[in-house]
């Protein structure tokens, strides 16, 4: 019988653990309680950089055990290497549940692991629970965000990916006497088809990363042209925030797809989200409606964005934004 919950402990390019790992860890504690306090473990890839710090963070976030794949060959993420090691570990420890952050990397790794293990995967979940039969109940939006579906998986491990910032990270530490185990692996038979050449960062429109920004100034088709987006950049800079975009604006080439917010873009939960010239289609609001305060500027009083906004300004962005910028400049 499969048992325990395994989490993919993804790190970033500087070997820092991604927040989504801690969000998953927090939820895994609740799931574990409903599964006879089963073990919560993680798989961590490293070349040794920042390892001690990461171990410290993991043991303060409720992990009973951490499996460490440590090699200089694992410095750069490689789908062939990482999926082989994950699959071998899962075959070995047979977890009941395997959770991964729905990051770009997680979205590649999860389906490959699921198909190799011939199990099911629920992608982009917004909630995870255990049902009365002890199965993982993974909830995610479907039919363009109009319905929420709760999906069960027949095979093991039951797999799910969850978008960053959707689950809450606890502020209190859940300190465990974590067991750290370096795992051995043999990559000599792996046919590595992709070689890392160079890292090119996303074309951000502002200095602050959109997934970390506390204030986001987002623009839609109503911003009309590059000059319109320059106003958003100026406002974001004055507020110490970041610029985001609707898919409408990305399709018009006003912004890079890396800053698109919504169903096929990023999910953001800033303190303040200022939506400028965005109609508020469900595919957009699904990625920003959990923001703490939403301010919407739109010239159409019936625009759906006003249904999710805390503050609605009916008017022309080309009149309101320059005024706002002038005021902030003092
Ligand atoms: C499968 C699928 C996935 C999708 N994924 C995403 C996604 O991830 N993110 C996303 O954003 N969309 C997504 N979409 C597209 C989505 O359905 C909408 O088409 C898109 O969000 C519309 O972008 P918009 O609000 O910029 O444009 P529009 O809907 O054209 O709205 C423009 C708004 O600007 C206002 N406006 C115009 N001029 C001014 C002015 N001068 N001052 C003030 N207001 C003005 C208008 O009143 C209007 O409300 C997806 C669609 C599908 C089918």
Mean pLDDT, rounded, for 36-40: 96
CATH number of the structural domain spanning residue 43: 3.40.50.620
In a domain, residue 323? The reply is yes
Q: Which domain holds residue 254?
A: 215-329
- Domain endpoint, select from 159, 182, 205: 182
In a domain, residue 199? The reply is no
What is the model's pLDDT at position 172? Answer: 74
What is the model's pLDDT at position 2? Answer: 59
CATH number of the structural domain spanning residue 303: 3.40.50.1220
List pLDDT tens digits, range 271-299: 999 999 999 999 999 899 989 999 999 99
Mean pLDDT, rounded, for 176-205: 87
Whether ligand 1 lies within 6 angstroms of the CB of 251 is answered as: no
Whether ligand 1 lies within 6 angstroms of the CB of 262 is answered as: yes
Residue 15 φ/ψ region, left for φ over 0, alpha for ψ in the -120 to 50 degree band, beta for the rest: left
User: pLDDT band at residue 142, thresholds of 50, 70 and 90?
Assistant: confident
In whole angstroms, what separates CA 84 from the centre of its chain?
Answer: 23
Q: How far is the CA of 305 from the centre of ligand 1 (A)?
A: 10
Q: Angle 96-102-108 (CA atoms, 0-180°, nearest 5)?
A: 90
For residues 278 and 262, what is the distance between their CA atoms, to the nearest angstrom?
Answer: 12
Q: How high is the mean pLDDT of the chain?
A: 93
- Predicted TM-score of the model (pTM): 0.76
What is the model's pLDDT at position 144? Answer: 66
| Judgement on whether residues 30 and 122 belong to the same structural domain of the protein | yes
In a domain, residue 196? The reply is no
Whether ligand 1 lies within 6 angstroms of the CB of 115 is answered as: no
Q: How far is the CA of 253 from the centre of ligand 1 (A)?
A: 13
Number of domains making up the chain: 2
Q: How far is the CA of 149 from the centre of ligand 1 (A)?
A: 25
| Judgement on whether residues 83 and 227 belong to the same structural domain of the protein | no
| Judgement on whether residues 22 and 168 belong to the same structural domain of the protein | yes
What is the model's pLDDT at position 204? Answer: 62
| Judgement on whether residues 177 and 120 belong to the same structural domain of the protein | yes
């Amino acid at each position: 019988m499969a048992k325990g919950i395994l989490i993919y402990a993804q790190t970033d390019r500087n070997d820092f653990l991604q927040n989504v790992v801690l969000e998953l860890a927090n939820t895994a504690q609740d799931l574990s309680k409903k599964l006879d306090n089963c073990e919560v473990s993680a798989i961590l890839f490293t070349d040794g950089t920042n390892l001690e710090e990461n171990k410290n963070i993991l043991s303060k976030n409720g992990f009973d055990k951490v499996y460490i794949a440590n090699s200089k060959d694992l410095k750069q993420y490689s789908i062939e290497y990482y999926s082989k090691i994950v699959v071998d570990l899962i075959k070995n420890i047979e977890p009941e549940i395997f959770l991964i952050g729905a990051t770009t990397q997680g979205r590649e790794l999860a389906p490959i692991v699921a198909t190799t293990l011939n199990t099911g995967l629920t992608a982009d979940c917004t909630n995870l629970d255990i049902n009365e039969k002890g199965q993982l109940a993974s909830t995610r939006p479907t039919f363009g965000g109009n319905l929420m579906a709760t999906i069960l998986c027949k095979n093991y491990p039951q797999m799910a990916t969850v978008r960053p910032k959707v689950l809450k990270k606890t502020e209190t530490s859940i300190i465990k006497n974590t067991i750290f185990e370096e795992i051995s692996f043999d990559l000599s038979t792996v046919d590595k088809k992709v070689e890392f050449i160079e890292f090119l960062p996303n074309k951000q429109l502002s200095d602050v990363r959109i997934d970390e920004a506390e204030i986001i100034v987002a623009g839609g088709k109503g911003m009309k042209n590059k000059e319109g987006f320059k106003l958003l950049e100026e406002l974001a800079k004055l507020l110490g925030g970041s610029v985001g975009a609707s898919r409408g604006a990305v399709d018009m080439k006003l912004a890079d797809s890396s800053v698109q917010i919504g169903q096929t873009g990023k999910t953001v939960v800033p303190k303040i989200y200022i939506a400028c010239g965005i109609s508020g289609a469900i595919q957009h609001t699904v990625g920003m409606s959990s923001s703490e305060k939403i301010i919407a500027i739109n010239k159409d009083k019936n625009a759906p964005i006003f249904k999710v906004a805390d503050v609605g300004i009916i008017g022309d962005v080309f009149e309101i934004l320059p005024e706002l910028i002038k005021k902030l400049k003092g």
